[in-house]
Structure 1
Amino acid sequence: MDISRRALTRTLWLRQGLVPGQRLPGGVPEVVTHLIGLQAQDNLPPYLSLAARIDAFTPADLSDLLGRRELVRFLTMRGTVHVLTADDALQLRGWVQPALDRQSATNQTSRPAKHLSTEDLDGVLRDFVVEPQPLAAIGDRLVEAFPGIDPVALKHVARERLPFLQTPPRGQWKKSGGVVYAYADRFLDRPFAEADVENLVLRYMAAYGPATAADMTKWSLVTRLGPVFTAMHKDGRLTTVTDDKGRTLYDVPGASIAEEDLELPVTLLGMYDNIFLSHADRDRIAPDDVRKNWMGANGGVGSALFVDGLLGGLWRVEDGRVVVEPFRAPTKSQASQLEGEIERVEALLASP
């Protein structure tokens, strides 16, 4: 079976629950589970992500779950913070840890402390972070144990090497508070679990497919997934399609492929959203000629506007109002949809 880029784009939107009338079933926990977490490097994007995917979503729907420890903020895929269910947090961190270790070894900020082992850091902090501790206090304890090493590097390498999650009120709606860390297993009062990699492949395909092993590596930073894909295809648990570039993409057997004429809404999402951070080849969502307008030296330069399923502009908030900068003039229909999107997002931002 062949699949066009246009159909790939629409299939991604469909599987992400971003098509009105074809939402994902369930509420916040079910959507977060389906997406295998929400990118949450900043506080606002996960709220924008859920508001675009769940009708009648309110910020309390996410904020309260963070407060009840049913969802957590945790450094996992791509070395960035994600909002995850407790179950996924406890299996995903161990799965991505080798990738985080590799990233830590080459990170400029962490470099002055890269010679410290995980055992060195855990030996100092395991009995200190019995209860959640502010990042500043953790830094002071590390400086005391390892004098002469850059304090910033010590704090940075600790969050990369040790399974520290961010405790509330961090990430809760309109609540202030600095970064306070806790060991994830202690905070959740449950042990870590070994990841079921083959099940993660199936889940990734259900939310982001059809895709390649390289795409899943881009999403997770975990390498050597090719043999897993090959074995799963051989025994029938994955099927394949061919895209416009002649690449073989894997998928879940029987999964829905969207029609090329599926209408996609003009949508305002956060600076970081799963939909355009989860593939090595981003042509299906953010072709290079437009993505360069979003990408700065250290990441995104603005929140993302999507038009006809593709990155189509930037937006920002000024004094509670949404200011949009499309990359090209919208059609009359798109302009009308954009006006409605602006009203929707401004209402969300004004939520108590």
Structure 2
Amino acid sequence: MTVLDIRALNRATLARQLLLDRADLPVYDAVAHLGGLQAQEPQEPFVGLWSRLRGFDPADLSDLLLRRAVVRTHLMRRTVHLLTAADAVAWRPRHDAMLRQRVLAVYRRELAGVDLDALAAAGRAVLADGEPRTMTGLARALPDPWSKLEPRALGEMLVAALIPVVQLPPRGLWRATGGARYRPLAEWAGLDPDQPATDGSAAQDGGVDQVGQTLVRRYLAAYGPAASADLRAWCGLAGLPAAVTAIRDELVVFRDQRGRQLLDLPDAPRPDPDTPAPVRFLPAFDNAILGYDDRSRIIDDAHRGLSVAGARVVLVDGRVAATWTVDAGTSAGTSADAGTVTVTPLRVFSRTDRAAVAEQGERVAALLSDGESQRVRVAGDAG
């Protein structure tokens, strides 16, 4: 069985994630290919798509949100993701049990003894008035006996687990601010919530996990070659072994240097490990890192904590080699450094690497400042 070393896996990951070469794809197609982008920080997907798409215009993503073609919703790992509306509708039923379990793990004491089905019905009744609601606003609008319970726990259980909802614009629009307000996903996507899904979106169809099989294929297309543990780390679902088994004949199998079995689509790109990899700036919580259980293909174990701490990172030769921030000015006004991108290396940069990082830093500074700044500062190299 062919063994893929870390560099081979790295180049495959970069190719699948559109980070080896910027792609000539419409924004909608890129969001679909990636299986969504992690988006709890509303502006981060813009950087993620800019790093992946040639000629990316932030207005294109904002337009998709306003047209309801893409949505912001809780899904994989109970985190907010930006997905196509079609994927959100199709995949949500398969995630319901996981979402409940994860919210209960946080609020088990506050929600002890609560009839979750009855709570969901009460929440839907409140949302039936057509008014957008904040999470706590939805909880506080519940009648007795729910009104006596802790609003944060009730609200998060409702919007993150019990009722498929979307976060409404202007949240998530380019350079816009606004708190999260929610409406039901089916309503927002133009579906009749009283009709059962007829597009294969049911979690189980005659005992065949069609959605699970789709998730496996889509994951491998954007993240493979990967182990079952990696798939589970991406979506948060533990119950996909049957789906993997059902399509096993479609897949090819490799091993990594740890001996783990890796699955992949036979015709998916696996570039030569010596393929040059350009510098890329990644946003906070990018799934190119978080979408794996074993993240060593792209980040050193010593820096793994950065990926869950919300650090923005820079890839040099395909691996996390620096963090980056951007100065947003001060509350009293715009500082002289506003719009300046500061890169902090995690290792020593060569002169060539430093120049490439500075060039990409200037471009990301221009993106984030609407062209008003191209300032970049590369801090002293890590010793």
TM range (shorter): over 0.9
Q: In structure 2, what is the equivalent of residue 194 of structure 1? A: 202
The question of 1:203 aligning with 2:218 is answered yes
Q: In the alignment, is the contact (CA less than 8 A) between 2:3 and 2:255 conserved in 1?
A: yes
Q: CA separation in 2, counterparts of 1:126 and 1:255?
A: 42
Q: 1:25 & 1:213 partners in 2: Cα distance? A: 30
Q: Quick check: 1:17 aligned with 2:10?
A: no
Q: Please give the secondary structure, in 2, of the residue aligned with 1:133.
A: coil
Moved more, 315-324 or 29-38: 315-324
**Equivalent residue letter for 1:257:** R
CA distance in 2, matches of 1:132, 1:87: 23
Gaps of 5+ in 1: none
Partner Cα distance (2:236, 2:112) in 1:
19
- Whether contact under 8 Å (2:166, 2:184) holds in the other structure is yes
Task: Classify the secondary structure of the residue corresponding to 2:4.
Answer: coil
Runs (4 or more) in structure 1 with deviation over 6 Å come to: none
The structure number with the bigger radius of gyration is 2
Q: What's the counterpart of residue 299 of structure 2?
A: 286
Equivalences for residues 245-264 of structure 1 within 5 A:
245-264=258-277
Pair 1:243 & 2:262 matched: no
Q: Calculate the TM-score normalised by the size of structure 2.
A: 0.85
1:3-50 CA-partner distances (Å, limit 9, x unpaired) = 111010011001111123xx4452101000101111101012100110
- CA distance in 1: counterparts of 2:295 and 2:235, whole angstroms: 15
Query: What percentage of residue pairs aligned between the two structures are identical?
Result: 34
Q: Are 2:311 and 1:302 equivalent residues in the alignment? A: yes
Deviation at 1:132, TM superposition (A): 4.1
1:1-352 to structure 2, matched below 5 A, reads 1-20=2-21, 23-108=22-107, 111-130=109-128, 131-135=130-134, 136-142=136-142, 145-160=145-160, 161-190=162-191, 192=197, 193-194=201-202, 196-233=211-248, 236-292=249-305, 294=306, 299-318=308-327, 319-351=338-370
**CA–CA separation in structure 2 for the residues paired with 1:148 and 1:251:** 50
Do the aligned partners of 1:143 and 1:154 also contact (CA within 8 Å) in 2?
no
Q: Residues 111 and 333 (structure 1 numbering): CA distance in 2 closer, same or farther, change over 3 Å?
A: farther
Q: Secondary structure at the match of 2:291?
A: coil
* Paired residue type of 2:260: R
Aligned to 2:208: none
Paired residue type of 2:250: R
Q: Secondary structure at the match of 2:110?
A: helix
TM-score, length-scaled by structure 1: 0.92
Aligned to 2:381: none
SS of the residue corresponding to residue 283 of structure 1 reads coil
Deviation at 1:156, TM superposition (A): 1.5
Larger relative contact order, structure 1 or 2 (CA cutoff 8 Å, min sep 6): 1
Show CA shifts across 1:293-322 (max 9, x none): x15xxx414211212111112111112211
